[in-house]
Each structure stands twice: as C-alpha cells, then as structure tokens.
Amino acid sequence: MSAHGITSLYTFTAAAVWLSISVHAAEPNGRLEITGDYRYKAQASEQLAEARELACREALRQAVVNSAIYREETASTVDSSLLREVANTLATHVQDQQIVEQNEQGRTVFCRIKAYLPAAESARAIQTQLAGRATGAEGLDQNRVLKLLSVKEEDAGTLVVQYQTLKRLDWANTHYQGGLRDAAHIMVDYFDKDGLLLYSQRFEAWRTPAGDDVMSPGAVGLIQIPRPAAAKTYRVWLVK
C-alpha cells in the first residue's frame, strides 16, 4: 500500500496507537479465523465511548487486511485506494464477530476482535472487485462527510493534504447517536523503517481556515505538517 501523509494548519494533540495482529489457518468448514487488536490513546476532547468504538473498528480492519485471504488475493495490487475499497468490502463478509477483550487505562483504550471469513466466498468477492475496478478513480479515501483529494510532499519535508467536505458539518462537535463527529476527522498513522507504528494523529477537518464557521458542502480545505524525521511511511485515513 502506498503511503501518504498529512497535517494541520492548527495545533492539535497527537493520539498514540499500538496494534498487533494474528492470522490463523482455515477451519475444516472453510472459514478463516482472524484476530486483531488495537490500542488507542484518546485526546482530552474525545469521549471514551467514541474512542472504544474507534479502537474496535480499527481492530477489525487490521484483522481483515492481515488475513491470509486478503494478503494472497491482493499481493500484486499496488493501488492503495483500491486496496482500501477491497478491505472495506471484505469486512462486510465477516461472520461471528466478537469482542474478546476490551479495557482502558486512563484515556488509553484497548480492543481485541475475533471473527471469521468464509474462505471461498471472500476470495471470490476480492477477485470480482479487482477485476471490475476501473482505473483512475478520483480521491484517496472517502467517508460520508469528507473526501481526500490529494496528498503530496513539498520542499523541506512538508506534507500537504487537500480534502473536500461533502456535508455541512454544523453538528460535528456534538455527541449524539449517529453523529458526524468521528467522520469529520482525518487520521494519520506514522511508521518507522521497519514498518512499526510510531504514533498517530487526529485532525479536525470541518472548520473554515479562519476557524469562525463550518465548511459548506463542496468546500476544499488544505492541511500541512512537517514530516516527522523518524517516519519513513505514513497512512492517511478517514473514519468509516
């Protein structure tokens, strides 16, 4: 998967994240057991309930993308946006998902997921999606309220991301069921030369540059950050 980076014109607090994954052989019934865990340090402005939900979603995503089925079927694919789409599709085929461990220490939350993928069905779904995907799709990632348009590295190691809002986000800062708070953030993971996660950051992406209003649908925002010296690769993603 290709790497992208991002940062903010404003000052934000970094959130530290750790994860580990286990992959198991297929069972006699043709299902593959997958497990993944994710540890997330929530910012002071986040509710712990939201942080727990994010940790479990990401634990499942990590279990899916590190499954033998996903890795084998996408081994020759280098299109990062397509890989994300395939992972999202494969997550819909997960069966018997369970939270096997969930705890918190202070503002650090942890979630471990166990689930199963039907091997033959999942392989067919990936093959179908890879065969039918048109090239040159716009955007790097997208959720219901934001769309990443471009990520590039400028002189002196400055990473620049351009994004677009898809909905007016007046309610982004509220904590109601089904709210847009998480979806209106951009997440960035930084990795060292060995591919190990250094830390993650979370950026608000709903306000205008002046900070006195929310962005309207179709508005384009620009966020910048100096690339950390220790970060050899990085992943930019939107909460789904």
Residue ranges of domains in the chain: 17-238
Report the percentage of the chain scoring pLDDT > 70.
76
Residue 114 reports pLDDT greater than 90: yes
pLDDT (tens digit per residue) in 153-198 = 777 677 788 898 887 766 545 443 445 666 778 888 777 777 777 8
Q: What is the pLDDT of residue 75?
A: 82
- In single-letter form, the type of residue at position 61 comes to R
Q: How many CB atoms lie within 10 A of CB 240?
A: 15
Q: What is the pLDDT of residue 168?
A: 72
Residue 20 reports pLDDT greater than 80: no
**Biggest CA pair distance of the chain:** 59
Nearest-angstrom CA–CA distance, 53 and 177: 12
Q: 47-56, 80-89, 135-144, 211-220: which range is least confident on average?
A: 135-144
pLDDT (tens digit per residue) in 4-16 = 443 332 222 333 3
Q: What is the pLDDT of residue 26?
A: 52
Nearest-angstrom CA–CA distance, 185 and 10: 13
Residue 149 reports pLDDT greater than 70: yes
Main-chain dihedrals φ then ψ at residue 105, nearest 5 degrees: -130, 110
Tell me the mean pLDDT in the region 35-61. 89
For residue 110, give Cα distances in angstroms to 13, 55, 135: 19, 7, 37
Q: How many residues does the chain have?
A: 240
Mind giving me the DSSP string for 156-219? GGEEEEEEEESS--TTTT---TT-STGGGEEEEEEE-TTS-EEEEEEEE--B-TTSSSBPPTT-
Tell me the mean pLDDT in the region 61-71. 89
User: Is 84 strand, coil or helix?
Assistant: helix
pLDDT (tens digit per residue) in 74-105 = 887 767 777 888 888 888 889 999 999 999 99
User: Is 27 strand, coil or helix?
Assistant: coil
Helix (H) or strand (E) holding 220: strand 220-226
Categorize the per-residue pLDDT at 111 as very low, low, confident or very high, splitting at 50, 70 and 90.
very high
Q: What is the pLDDT of residue 151?
A: 80
For residue 230, give Cα distances in angstroms to 27, 100, 147, 196, 198: 40, 33, 27, 11, 8
Main-chain dihedrals φ then ψ at residue 141, nearest 5 degrees: -160, 155
Contact yes or no for 153/225 (Cβ under 8 A): no
Residue 124 reports pLDDT greater than 60: yes
Residue 73 reports pLDDT greater than 90: no
Nearest-angstrom CA–CA distance, 133 and 86: 10
Categorize the per-residue pLDDT at 207 as very low, low, confident or very high, splitting at 50, 70 and 90.
confident
Contact yes or no for 224/4 (Cβ under 8 A): no
Q: What is the pLDDT of residue 112?
A: 94
